[in-house]
Amino acid sequence: MELYLQWKELMRSGADVAFWQSFYVKFYQAFIEADRWKQYLSRVGTTLLVTAIALAIGVLLGVIVASVRTAHAQQRPGRHNPILGLFNAIFNVYVTVIRGTPMMVQLLIMGLVIFKTSNNYTMVGALTLGINSGAYVSEIIRGGLMSLDAGQMEAGRSLGLGYLPTMIYIVVPQAFKAILPALGNEFIVLLKDTSLINVIGGKELVYAAQGVMSRTYEQMFPLFGVAAIYLVLVIIFTWLLGLLERRLRKSDRR
C-alpha cells in the first residue's frame, strides 16, 4: 500500500521507474485499489449464471427440436403426421437461421431491436445465447440419435415396443453417453461466448474489466486478468466434465 502510493507518485512526477515498479503499480490499480477484485468476482458470478441460463434454454430447445426433427425423419413412408411436418419445417428454419448468422449480429438484433425497451441487458443476452445454443445442441442430439446403430431401434420395435418407448428405453440412454463430450464442449463454448453479451450492455466479466479500464486508463492488466479468469474457469469445468465422463463409462461395464 505504502509502496504503491510512493511509486505512483514517482511515476506521476515523470521520474524513471524500474519496470517491476510500474508493473506493481498497474497491477495494484487494476485489482487491489478500491477493492476492484470484488468487481471481477461478482461478475464471475454473472458469467456463470448467464452460462447456466443459456445452457438450460439451449438444452431444452435442443431436446425439443431434435426430438421433433428425428421423429419426423423416422416416420414410416406414406404415414406423415402433418403437425410434426409443420414443426419440423419451423425448426429447420430456426436451425438454419441461427447457424447461418453470426452470434454478434443475433445479440445486436435481440438487444437493440426486439428487446429495445428492456433494460435487463444481461438476461436478454442470456436468452439470446440460449436460443443460439439450442440450434447447436439440437444438431448434437440429432447426430447422436441418428448415429446409433439402426439395429437397436429395429430390435426394440421387433419386440413390439412402440416408437417412443424404444426411443426412451433403448436409443436415448445410449445416445446420451455418445453425445456427452460434445455437449460438454458446447458448455465450454457457451461459457466463453458470454463475453459477447457485453456488446448489448450485458454486465459480466468483460464489463468489469471495462469499468476498471475507464477508471485507471490502463488496459493490459484488466484484460489479462479477465482472460486468466476465463482460462481458469474453462480448465476447472473441463476437468469436471472429464470426471463425469469417466464415471459414466465406468458404470457402463461394457
Contact positions vs another protein (CB under 8 A): 76-79, 149, 151-152, 154-162, 165, 169-170, 173-174, 177, 252-254
First-to-final CA distance of the chain: 60
Q: How far is CA 5 from the centre of its chain?
A: 41
Q: How far is the CB of 183 from another protein (least distance, A)?
A: 18
**Alpha-carbon gap, residue 96 to 105, rounded angstroms:** 15
Q: How far is the CB of 246 from another protein (least distance, A)?
A: 17
Q: How far is the CB of 89 from another protein (least distance, A)?
A: 23
**Cβ proximity to another protein, 112 vs 159, nearer residue:** 159
Q: How far is the CB of 157 from another protein (least distance, A)?
A: 6
Q: How many CB atoms lie within 10 A of CB 154?
A: 11
**Cβ proximity to another protein, 76 vs 116, nearer residue:** 76
**Cβ proximity to another protein, 9 vs 149, nearer residue:** 149
Q: How far is the CB of 149 from another protein (least distance, A)?
A: 8
Query: Which amino acid appears at position 6 of this protein?
Result: Q
**Alpha-carbon gap, residue 200 to 137, rounded angstroms:** 24
Query: How much of the chain is helix, strand and coil, in % rounded to 5?
Result: 85, 0, 15
Q: Which residue, 43, 61, 205, 57, is CA-closest to 129?
A: 57
CA distances from 219 to 99, 134, 160, 194, 224 (A): 33, 34, 66, 20, 8
Q: How far is the CB of 168 from another protein (least distance, A)?
A: 9
**Cβ proximity to another protein, 21 vs 152, nearer residue:** 152
**Cβ proximity to another protein, 100 vs 151, nearer residue:** 151
**Cβ proximity to another protein, 177 vs 192, nearer residue:** 177
104: CB partners within 8 A, 6+ apart:
196, 199
